[in-house]
Structure 1
Amino acid sequence: MKSFTSMLLGLLATCLFTYSTNASVILQYHHVSDDTPKSTSISPQQFAKHMQYLADNDFTVLPLNEVVDAIKQQQPLPNKSVVITFDDAYLNILENAKPILDQHQFPFTIFINPGIVDKGSPHYLSWSQLKAMADDGVMIANHGFEHESWTRVPKDTNFNTWLAQKIALLKKAEAKIKTETGQSWQYFAYPYGEFSPRIQQLLEQNQFIAFSQQSGAVGQDTDLTSIPRFPASQPYDKLSSLKDKLHSLPLSVTLSDQDAQTIYTKGALKNVTMTINSDDIRTEQLNCYVTSVGKQPVKWLEDKQLSITFTETLPSGRVRSNCTAPSISQPGRYYWYSKPWFILNEDGSWYPH
């Protein structure tokens, strides 16, 4: 039988870690269809399996604003809570996803491009459909006026002038959403998931909350200008891998100003250093995987500071490092942190979308 002292220490450790291990997970979808590009699609059948898993395993599906408000107010996030989001306002969200979500009474958010909605494409939701969904409790948020990257500055363009134009268009989109749906959350999902520290600063100055596309759970230390979301469409739609993500915990990491940068020319980024802000991870089991180059060797410089020197040149395109480590206090659950980089071609040009 355990001694009273050991039991007390165990209880104390559990109490200390409970605050830090509460987490939410935000899922990102695009199309819910069998007939759309696989890279941005999940079949209605597989989407139904995702939602049924949430229902069967006691997950709490929350509206996006409740999670954002909890972070703002530094309140504990409900454990095993999930948010469901869609990008791009495709018609199949209404036709194929909403009936499944309504069956479970799950709230959700759609990030839209008002300029695209204005064009009246039969593949996109119309303003009348979006208004009806908003009246039914669906959150409608901002994905930019058009679906244009916030990092790709056109040649021969003044950077500051370009930034001012981007903010003006973002505010125009927000105003249009409010006019057409009655909602204005000041939530913005980066098109293509591309952003930079300068863009993050600008959005914070203009009181926008921003959502990215790198993986990871959400916690009280989450940066409100790059809130992670787990892509859940193909090829990440397998329920076996999604289960681990739904049970993941937010790994709080601090980066220097240099290591926080996101845009590099191919060959320029050779290593990254980060400080882990957690006492609840098994450091000897922390692993980091990088897009196209696989598992990378981790070198601990100090008690909580580590460095990764890439074993290969990172490829052009959207590249991510996913670092995970087991939780001490919650066996079977993993802390997760993802760092995105946008690697330009060797001549400094942008890779295709």
Structure 2
Amino acid sequence: MVRGTIRKIYLFSTVALLLFLVASLFVGTKPVTATRHRPQNYTDIPVLNYHKVDTLYHSLSISPEEFEEQMAYLHENGYHAITPDQLMNYLNRGKPLPDKPVLITFDDGYLDNYTNAYPILKKYGFTATIFLVTDLIGNDPRFMNWDQVREMQKNGFIFGSHTASHAVLTKLPTEEALKELVSSRQKIASELGRAPRYFAYPTGAYNLAVEELVRTAGYTAAFTIRYGQAGVSSDPYALERIPIFKSAKTFRSFLIRLNGAPLLERLGIIRN
């Protein structure tokens, strides 16, 4: 009861903040006219971006308790986890999605994704997409091994590429960058029986030349860490996500980021 009351207070204060921001946004501004037709009932899609779920302090980590609180909120409020295929079919062809869709993603493939996040996601009936640094999978104790990855795949989890070595592609010569993309994709295909269709940029670094390399390597779409929601106006090789960071008020921050993404992105008042 107390927990539910606290959540309601958080949600109320979050909505109040967003209403204030909406009002301030349109004071003294001209109406914005849409430049692209959107289908009836169209909505942008939140793509959550996690890294680590553990008790060790790290700027990219949240605790298992915090992660469960967030997943419980999504479950209790009617959200449905979707796959990247569902997202792209919706954006490209208007194929219907379940009510309140959310794409849950993790970067890197840390072991705690399996030991801590995986049981919580299963508890609430969610799946996720994990972008793997393939040279580290099975070779570094901080990361998952391929048996764990295969187990998660059998339970509906999707795996994409995060390069072979977590290389910053914008800093590499073209040939080396392409090798990172291709070798990672080939490794995942050999271990999981299917080539990954989706990619996430290490450190979020990309440019038009790197986007073209990702396309050349055979990927269908790619995700950034640029704050926002994925929509019909998004570049399929630069899809926005909502990064979830450790903070003094992680759950409140989570609510604000989840519910206020389009407005906060436009105002430019939230960091990636």
Q: TM-score, normalised on structure 2?
A: 0.78
Indicate yes or no: 2:134 matched with 1:114: yes
Bigger RCO (CA 8 Å, 6+ sep):
2
Determine helix, strand or coil for the equivalent of 2:237. Answer: coil
Q: Which residue of 2 aligns with 1:138?
A: 157
- 1:241 CA displacement: 2.8
- 1:90 CA displacement: 0.8
Which residue of 24, 43, 50 maps to 1:22? Answer: 43
Letter in 2 for 1:57: N
Give CA deviations for 1:240-295 in whole Å, capped at 9, x if unaligned: 232233234658x9xxxxxxxxxxxxxxxxxxxxxxxxxxxxxxxx633376xxxx
- 1:107 CA displacement: 1.0
Kindly indicate whether the alpha-carbon contact (under 8 Å) linking 2:84 and 2:198 is maintained by their aligned counterparts in 1.
Answer: no
* 2-structure distance, mates of 1:17, 1:176: 38
Gap change, CA 1:38 and 1:169, over 3 Å in 2 = closer
Letter in 2 for 1:222: S
- 1:19 CA displacement: 3.3
Letter in 1 for 2:123: Q
Q: Which residue of 2 aligns with 1:176?
A: 187
Letter in 1 for 2:70: H
* 2-structure distance, mates of 1:247, 1:236: 19
Q: Which residue of 2 aligns with 1:90?
A: 110
Gap change, CA 1:173 and 1:206, over 3 Å in 2 = closer
Indicate yes or no: 2:147 matched with 1:123: no
- 1:178 CA displacement: 1.0
Determine helix, strand or coil for the equivalent of 1:203. Answer: helix
* 1-structure distance, mates of 2:249, 2:187: 33
Q: Which residue of 1 aligns with 2:166?
A: 147
Q: Which residue of 2 aligns with 1:158?
A: none
- 1:20 CA displacement: 6.7
Determine helix, strand or coil for the equivalent of 1:228. Answer: strand
Determine helix, strand or coil for the equivalent of 1:188. Answer: strand
Determine helix, strand or coil for the equivalent of 1:212. Answer: strand
Determine helix, strand or coil for the equivalent of 1:185. Answer: coil
Q: Which residue of 2 aligns with 1:212?
A: 224
- 1:32 CA displacement: 0.5
* 2-structure distance, mates of 1:149, 1:34: 27
* 1-structure distance, mates of 2:95, 2:262: 15
Structure 2 gaps, min length 5: 1-36
Kindly indicate whether the alpha-carbon contact (under 8 Å) linking 1:47 and 1:97 is maintained by their aligned counterparts in 2.
Answer: yes
Structure 1 gaps, min length 5: 1-15, 154-161, 254-285, 292-319, 321-353
Indicate yes or no: 2:14 matched with 1:34: no
Kindly indicate whether the alpha-carbon contact (under 8 Å) linking 1:26 and 1:217 is maintained by their aligned counterparts in 2.
Answer: yes
Kindly indicate whether the alpha-carbon contact (under 8 Å) linking 1:75 and 1:220 is maintained by their aligned counterparts in 2.
Answer: no
Larger radius of gyration: 1
Length, aligned pairs only: 234
Letter in 1 for 2:233: D
User: If each structure's helix is expressed as a fraction of its own residues, which one has the higher value?
Assistant: 2
Identity of aligned residues (%): 28
- 1:22 CA displacement: 1.2
Kindly indicate whether the alpha-carbon contact (under 8 Å) linking 1:42 and 1:237 is maintained by their aligned counterparts in 2.
Answer: no
Gap change, CA 1:31 and 1:229, over 3 Å in 2 = same
Gap change, CA 1:91 and 1:199, over 3 Å in 2 = same
Indicate yes or no: 2:264 matched with 1:245: no
* 2-structure distance, mates of 1:182, 1:243: 37
Q: Which residue of 1 aligns with 2:198?
A: 187
Gap change, CA 1:129 and 1:147, over 3 Å in 2 = same
Q: Which residue of 1 aligns with 2:19?
A: none
- 1:235 CA displacement: 2.9
- 1:26 CA displacement: 0.7
* 1-structure distance, mates of 2:238, 2:163: 15
Please tell me the root mean square deviation across aligned C-alpha atoms, in Å.
2.5
- 1:72 CA displacement: 2.7
Q: Which residue of 2 aligns with 1:156?
A: none
Kindly indicate whether the alpha-carbon contact (under 8 Å) linking 1:80 and 1:247 is maintained by their aligned counterparts in 2.
Answer: no
Letter in 2 for 1:144: T
Kindly indicate whether the alpha-carbon contact (under 8 Å) linking 1:24 and 1:81 is maintained by their aligned counterparts in 2.
Answer: yes
Q: Which residue of 1 aligns with 2:234?
A: 222
Letter in 2 for 1:243: L
- 1:34 CA displacement: 0.4
Q: Which residue of 1 aligns with 2:212?
A: 201
Q: Which residue of 2 aligns with 1:326?
A: none
Indicate yes or no: 2:92 matched with 1:72: yes
